[in-house]
């Protein structure tokens, strides 16, 4: 069995138990993507679930956005592997009463998200169920795949774009308010960082992952997979403009609010200290920390020079 070590959390305890149970019946668990060698090409595959009432509420999003968001989340794992998408398969579960137009609208959004990065909808499955749920499998080609396990001491840590926007939308909705349009867009129509992932790989990224559960928790997976410690200065983490006001409502420092926020689908990458970072234009790429020799999986989050302890999203905590 090949199994990439994971960080802390009840969800990841379950994945560890599954990997133990499967033994030789599994291969490559614990990564952003499964990698399958086909001739001289490597195919990257990943599957991701998006469930009404868990990942989104129907009142928050249009049907097109529900489709877009689920597909973008899956494509984001391809981005983290530096893969170029071929397309997606969408297994769509819906209550029996939904009219055919709901299916078509969700799939239109799914198709737009795939097309936005050069992919297509390759297939799917329809089934009835209690609520709307999408299980999206993304498939692509990774000539030089990047995984989570290659970060080495001395590497610098970088993050694309800005963090906390999707969480700012979520907390606004949860307190009964309408999110700022920019924050809402981060939640409703996240952009898979396909081009950035490939540029980071070309710049020599030693490890990469996407931030779906939030920097605070996800960084632990990269640290565990690479058997290193990470030191992250939260003061350096680029924050979405909506974070400041939402963090005040949450009575939290903006830096902590941003580091806990998941579903921004930005990339976290390790680059050799001497590697010039790629030019990502308006998206931006920010150095936020470094890789160190230390307890495997340990992440030291610092703010104003002092260590802070944060949690992140866990489905089964």
Tokens of 80: 């983290």
Contact pick of 126, 182, 202, 293 for a copy of itself (by CB under 8 A): 126
Q: Shortest approach of a copy of itself to residue 86 CB, angstroms?
A: 5
Q: Which CB sits closer to a copy of itself, 115 or 275?
A: 115
| Least Cβ distance, residue 200 to a copy of itself (angstroms) | 22
Here the tokens at position 223 are 């640290």
Site for a copy of itself contains 224 (CB under 8 A):
no
Other Cβ atoms within 10 Å of 7 Cβ, number:
19
The residue (of 29 and 275) whose beta carbon lies closer to a copy of itself is: 29
Choose among 25, 46, 44: nearest CA to 35: 44
Q: What residues does 292 pair with on adjacent strands?
A: 229
- How many Cβ atoms sit within 10 Å of the Cβ of residue 265? 24
User: What are the structure tokens assigned to 264, written together?
Assistant: 């921004």
Provide the minimum distance between the beta carbon of 299 and a copy of itself in the complex, in angstroms, as a whole number.
21
Q: Is 115 in the site for a copy of itself (CB under 8 A)?
A: yes
In terms of CB distance, is 28 or 238 closer to a copy of itself?
28
- Within 137-156, the residues that bind a copy of itself by CB under 8 A are 137, 139, 141
**Stretch of 48-56, 173-181, 227-235, 256-264 lying at the interface with a copy of itself (CB under 8 A):** 48-56
Residues present in the chain in total: 317
Are 132 and 110 in contact, with CB atoms under 8 Å apart?
Answer: no
CB crowding 202-213: b at 16 or more within 10 Å, else e: ebbbbbbbbbbb
Decide: is 261 part of the binding site for a copy of itself (CB under 8 A). Answer: no
Q: Are 214 and 262 in contact (CB under 8 A)?
A: yes
Residue number, 26 or 275, with CB nearest to a copy of itself: 26
Q: What are phi and psi of 74, to 5 degrees?
A: -75, -40
Contact by Cβ (8 Å): 269, 200: yes
Report which secondary-structure segment, H or E, holds 133.
strand 133-141
Q: Which helix (H) or strand (E) holds 47?
A: strand 41-51
Whole-angstrom distance, CA of residue 244 vs CA of residue 12 = 31
Residue 147: name the closest of 98, 97, 93, 80 by CA.
80
**Which position among 41, 248, 273, 311 is part of the footprint of a copy of itself (CB under 8 A)?**
41
**Integer Cα distance of 75 and 206 in angstroms:** 20
Tell me whether residue 130 or residue 273 sits nearer to a copy of itself (CB atom).
130
Residues 7-26 that bind a copy of itself (CB under 8 A): 11, 13-15, 17-18, 20-22, 24-26
| Site string (53-92) toward a copy of itself, x via CB under 8 A | xxx------------------------------xx-xxx-
What mask of x and - would describe binding to a copy of itself in positions 156 to 195, judged by CB under 8 A?
----------------------------------------
The reply to whether 48 sits near a copy of itself by the rule CB under 8 A is: yes
Name the site residues for a copy of itself (rule: CB under 8 A).
Answer: 11, 13-15, 17-18, 20-22, 24-29, 31, 33-34, 36, 38-41, 43, 45-49, 51, 53-55, 86-87, 89-91, 93, 96, 100-101, 103-105, 107-108, 111-112, 114-115, 120-131, 133, 135, 137, 139, 141, 315-316
């Amino acid at each position: 069995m090949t199994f990439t070590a994971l960080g802390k959390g009840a969800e990841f305890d379950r994945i560890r138990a599954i990997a133990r149970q499967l033994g030789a019946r599994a291969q490559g668990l614990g990564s952003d993507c499964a990698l399958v060698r086909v001739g001289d090409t490597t195919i990257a595959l990943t599957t991701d679930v998006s469930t009404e009432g868990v990942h989104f509420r129907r009142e928050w999003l249009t049907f097109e956005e529900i489709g877009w968001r689920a597909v973008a989340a899956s494509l984001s794992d391809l981005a983290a592997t530096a893969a170029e998408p071929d397309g997606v398969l969408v297994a769509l579960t819906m209550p029996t009463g939904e009219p055919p137009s709901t299916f078509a609208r969700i799939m239109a959004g799914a198709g737009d998200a795939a097309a936005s990065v050069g992919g297509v909808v390759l297939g799917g499955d329809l089934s009835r169920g209690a609520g709307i749920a999408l299980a999206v499998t993304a498939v692509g080609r990774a000539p030089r795949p990047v995984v989570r396990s290659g970060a080495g001491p001395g590497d610098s840590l970088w993050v694309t774009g800005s963090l906390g926007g999707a969480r700012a939308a979520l907390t606004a909705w949860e307190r009964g308010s309408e999110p700022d349009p920019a924050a809402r867009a981060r939640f409703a129509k996240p952009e898979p960082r396909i081009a950035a992932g490939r540029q980071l790989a070309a710049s020599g990224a030693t490890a990469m992952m996407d931030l779906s559960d939030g920097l605070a928790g996800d960084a632990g997976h990269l640290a565990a997979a690479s058997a290193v410690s990470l030191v992250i200065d939260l003061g350096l983490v680029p924050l979405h403009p909506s974070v400041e006001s939402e963090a005040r409502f949450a009575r939290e420092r903006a830096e902590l609010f941003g580091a806990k926020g998941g579903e921004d689908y930005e990339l976290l990458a390790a680059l050799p200290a001497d590697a010039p970072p790629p030019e990502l234009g308006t998206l931006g790429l920010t150095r936020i920390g470094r890789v160190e020799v230390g307890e495997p999986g340990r992440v030291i989050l610092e703010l104003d020079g002092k260590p802070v302890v944060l949690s992140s999203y866990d489905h089964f905590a």
